[in-house]
Structure 1
Amino acid sequence: MSLPTYAFQRERYWLDAPTVAADATGLGLETLEHPLLGAAVPLAEGGQLFTGRISLETHPWLADHQVWGTVLVPGAALIELAMHAVTHVGQQGIEDIALETPLAVPEGETVHVQVVVGEVQQDGQREFSIHSRMDSDDVDLGWKRHATGLSCAAVDEEPVSEVLSGASWPPPGAAPVDVDELYAGFAGR
């Protein structure tokens, strides 16, 4: 073996260790069974934080939702994030949501997502918001807000349970609708 011609020239013989995702429960978080949200943690001053990471490598189906060449998380996915968060804390669902800014997922980037659900208000509802920031962003630059909203108040019994129980189907006052011409009408418009 000959000596290197340059003093700092060297060959590396060690293998690079693979990145291992930490167990959320070992970090004091609750693990979630959700495709976009990985963990939840109760906040010290009330409410709950839900967090996850999104990229085209981990969620390749997002590449199918492009607007002018930019991959965007569909609005329905943002609503699903909010719905999962509010029902996880015992709320009935979403009463109101305002989508403010599209959530872009650039090629080769990882996006950190947070859904914050506030404390229960006097009327039983909770405010929520959805934020994100790029993995490459400086933490001090802050988070972008994509949606805000209000949950439905929690109730003891779901009103749809009576309809879904099959006791009376179709519901009283329902009229049959012919849908054979529906798609032809849409295509014509």
Structure 2
Amino acid sequence: MEDTFLVQTPEALKAIAHPLRQRILMDLVVAGHARAADLARSVDAPANSVSFHLRTLAKAGMVVEAPELARDGRDRVWRPVAENFRVEPGTAGTATEILRPALAWVERLFTTANDGGPADEGTKRRALVINNVSLTPDEARAFRDELVAFHEKWADRAFSRARQDPDAPRDAYQVLLALGPRDEG
């Protein structure tokens, strides 16, 4: 299994952009391998829908069948090709497929968190940081590398804990990291 799958093709981008496919992929990474019916229970979706989404992920090269784990010829078991999936900057279609839905999610997340009521536990687990930092090109690369490493450390830790205790209550958290030169235009 690869450590990181780089999402670089329009087909892969379209596949990973769907929120249910993201959940399916995350749960499959945690489990290591699973059947559509198992994933359907974990993401609370119909098995035929999950099966369709698994085939879409397979066409994009993100999951593969694991026939050696099947009980019989009709049984389809799937496994992820990597533990991490990363969209490369500059991939054609990123703004439409990934960025717009992600920014809409950020807006919904913080609109509901700031609706004027008292902060609940869910609100206290959210973060939005917008800042300007003056960096040299070398510092910007180092900052990017540290952000990615920090995120990967927490993702690895979360996946490890989910594998150790799959029945513990967990929520799926989305993380959006963006770093780039500010456009003054």
Question: Higher helix fraction: Structure 1 or Structure 2?
Answer: 2
For CA contacts below 8 A with separation 6 or more, give which structure has more relative contact order: 2
TM-score, scaled relative to structure 2? 0.22
TM-score, scaled relative to structure 1? 0.22
